[in-house]
Each structure stands twice: as structure tokens, then as C-alpha cells.
Structure 1
């Protein structure tokens, strides 16, 4: 099986009044995930994107289930999102450079 270079994006907006709580929680959560990078919108404060690098499709399926369907260690972060899981978006992207050569 050929493993293509894939990334996962997780996007959401947090409640401004929960910003400090969120930052503390996400920092702790991402410490154990060296392939994750956190971004905040420069023109949209409190909109965050997690970029998960070098992932597989199986990682994506597992993450969607973990973050959108099951109770998990991510629930405290999800509680900072107005609208909860319904406002958390997860997308998978596959590198196309290998297909365009």
C-alpha cells in the first residue's frame, strides 16, 4: 500500500470568554502530539485551525470519530466551542504533487 502525504485540518471558533481556558487546555492536549500545529486566524480572533501532518486516512477516520462522535479527552476543548461538536469541522487533504508529475 502506497502511503500518500495527507494532512488533517480541524477548524472551530471558541467563545471569547473561554479563550484562556481553551489555550491552557489545547496546549496541554497538543504537547503529546508532535505532528500537530495550531493556528489562529489573524483577522478572525478566536478562530483556530489545527493542522495534523503526515497522517493516514485511518488517522482521519479515527479523529473524526473521536472528536465528533465519542466522549474523549477532547471534550473539554469542545466545550469552549459555541454550538459544540456541531461547529467543529474536520477535513482531510491529500497531496497532489505526486499525481501531477
Structure 2
């Protein structure tokens, strides 16, 4: 299991459109196998957004990352005009959990 973080800035002029598209984006993430999807806006930087979700394996992460940063995907590409610098500025990271609460 991997925890994925995606971070990007949204153009202030596009925030309303962007937020309306995120319903479709989250549904598409689920179709790619993402679970426990969480979506955040930075409290001190209103145009900075982070998504956090779980995937089962590296292959799922690689597929989502590729599709989120390309203009070829019919849903994810809708965010290209919203993200400052375009989809290539969507930063993606996958993390493996090393310990549990019981280990601390």
C-alpha cells in the first residue's frame, strides 16, 4: 500500500472552475484504484491544493501519475488551464509506511 500526495497551485481566476471539476477528478481516481481520497486547500496559501490517497502498488501510482500530468486524459486534462504552469507542475509523490502507532 502506498500513500500518494499531489500538490499544485491553481490560478486564482480558475479556482471556482477547478473546484467544480474535482468531483469528476476524484471519481476518476477511484476508477484507477485510489481509495481514502482526501483533498486540501492550504490555510495560508488559498491557491495551493493537495490531494492525498491510497493505492495498492507502484504500478497503480505510476499509472495515475502519468495520467494526471498529461493532456491525453479526458478528465484530468481539464485541470491543465487551472493549474499554474499546466499539468506538468502537478507534483506527485508516493510513500511507503514504515511503522505503525504501536511501534512508536
Shorter-chain TM-score tier = 0.7 to 0.9
Contact 1:6–1:55 (8 Å) recurs in 2:
yes
Q: How does 1:21-36 map to 2 (within 5 A)?
A: 21-31=17-27, 33=30, 34-36=35-37
| Alignment match of 2:80 (pick from 68, 78, 81) | 78
**Structure 1 residue ranges (4+ consecutive) displaced by more than 3 angstroms after TM superposition:** none
Count residues in correspondence.
95
SS at match of 1:97: coil
Contact 2:79–2:87 (8 Å) recurs in 1:
no
Q: What is the distance in 1 between the residues matched to 2:96 and 2:57? A: 9
Contact 1:9–1:50 (8 Å) recurs in 2:
yes
Structure 2 segments unaligned to the other structure (5+ residues): none
Partner of 2:62: 61
Which TM-score applies when normalising by structure 2?
0.80
RMSD: 1.9
Structure 1 segments unaligned to the other structure (5+ residues): none
Q: CA deviation at 1:65?
A: 1.3
Contact 1:35–1:54 (8 Å) recurs in 2:
no
